[in-house]
Amino acid sequence: MEELKHYVLERICIDSDNDPYVSKKEAEKFAECIKAEKILISDAGHFNEKSGYKEFKQLLQYIK
């Protein structure tokens, strides 16, 4: 993971407070591991269609 910092200068980790598959602890651990900015989106589930995500429009504000 340390090599990632050399290839990707800006890193974000987007997490939901009610993800049924990825615990808050694991999401924070991953973000810390890759030295990413942490972003929490409330009530977003796992960001999949089952959670109401056919599109992820919020993502656009972070990748511009």
Q: pLDDT value at position 64?
A: 67
The string of pLDDT tens digits covering residues 19-64 is: 999 999 999 999 998 889 999 999 999 999 999 999 988 888 888 6
Q: pLDDT value at position 54?
A: 92
Q: pLDDT value at position 39?
A: 95
CA distances from 58 to 21, 25, 55 (A): 21, 23, 9
Query: pTM score, two decimals?
Result: 0.78
Average pLDDT over residues 4-16: 87
What is the DSSP secondary structure assignment for residue 31, as one 8-state letter?
H
Q: pLDDT value at position 6?
A: 79
Asked if 12 contacts 36 with a C-beta cutoff of 8 angstroms, the reply is yes
